[in-house]
Amino acid sequence: MELLEHLLNRRWILKAADKDLYYQARDGIAEIRKFATDKMGCQIIENSLLVKMEKIPAKPEIHMGINEFTSRTEYVFLCLILMYLEDKEPEEQFILSQLTEYISSNMPGRSVDWTVYTERRRLVKVLRFGVSQGMIRITDGSDDVFMDKEEGEVLYENTGASRYFMKNFARDIMNYQTPEDFMASDWFAMDEDRGKVRRHRVYKKLMFSMGMYREGNQDEDFEYLKYYGRRLADDLEQTFDCQLHIHKSSAFLILGDDCRMGTVFPGNNVVADIILLFCDEVQQNVHSESMIREQGEAVILDEISFERLLSSIQQKYGSGFTKKYRVMTKGDFIKDITGELEIWGMIVRNQPERTVSILAAAGKMSAGFPKQFVSELNTTGEAEDE
């Protein structure tokens, strides 16, 4: 279902941005809704502005933030902008100074000084995100002027799509105290059908995460997969170009070449190459029994051993990397690749115990340089940039 892949691969389909695809989605909405709602428990929103699938994960993971944002302040700015746009009609215009005044008046916990470059840069980053998502558009001016000086002015137009950016909750969320309160709220209306809720969670874990893992001996989601895995595999493989691999304590959805469902690993970049080399090193150590898999198929290392493993990969293959990673210090290399491994669901860090769990996903794929090339690297210490 190509239309279903489009909705899984993007936030929404805006009529103003892609009119042909928007009408295709509306024409095929019945078939899309049947899979999205029945199998995944994902609500479909359709109106004169857009078609959207509410992709709420079974559990939050480190890769699920907004990649463009690097601080909490940017998320706060986004929420305030959404509040500001809530009172604006579609195609209604506003100037940047009106928005900055609103943010200054409603910023929780502290004041905002727009003479500070960092504050202006963060706001511009959030506004550019809003433009890229189709929630606002620039009618006149440039945000670069505001970036340089706080008096800079820009004329924006509200598209109306911002009202559908956030999830609508069935209950008042003002009394929620923890992230778990939000996760539980997704199932308030479905307590009477535990089987349906469980099916939705399993589909979401398979489709929105790098892998699905057994969490303890009484994991009802993995037990569901154990008994109904063949049915799920048939359903997913008939809908998408993919294969479902189910192991003793883990399961993975492997996408085919013709599947365009979200971001996939490996990508065509040097970071993916380094992670594949990491996977290969781990697999070799497991096969030689230098590393021992625990009951849940994970390999658990103390932080020092884990960092030593990454350092050895840089030392052994670094001359074959692009310039950025060739000249990177050992500390920066370890920090950068550790973050990427977390994002891709290859590892989980346990900071209180100062250990790193290498998950079963690292055993699903690997890559390596030809032996002759590795020998040449170690001899010459040089390689061409890619």
Q: 178-206: per-residue pLDDT in tens? A: 877 777 766 555 554 567 888 999 999 99
Q: What is the mean pLDDT of residues 269-274?
A: 91
Which whole-number Å values give the CA distances from 78 to 16, 69, 84, 183, in the listed order? 22, 10, 10, 21
Residue 287 CB coordination number (10 Å):
9
Q: Are 242 and 255 in contact (CB under 8 A)?
A: yes
Quote the Cα angle for 325-330-336, to 5°. Answer: 60
Rounded percentage of the chain residues whose pLDDT exceeds 90? 54
Give pLDDT tens digits for 111-145.
999 999 999 999 999 999 999 999 999 999 999 99
* Nearby residues of 273 by Cβ (< 8 Å), 6 or more positions away: 266, 321, 367
* Average pLDDT of the chain to the nearest whole number: 88
The amino acid at residue 219 is D
Residue 268 CB coordination number (10 Å):
7
CA distance 162 to 64: 19
Confidence of residue 386 (pLDDT cuts 50, 70, 90): very low
Q: What is the mean pLDDT of residues 93-118?
A: 94
Give pLDDT tens digits for 201-243.
999 999 988 889 988 776 888 999 989 999 999 999 998 989 9
CA distance 78 to 86: 12
CA atoms within 13 A on the CB side of 382: 2
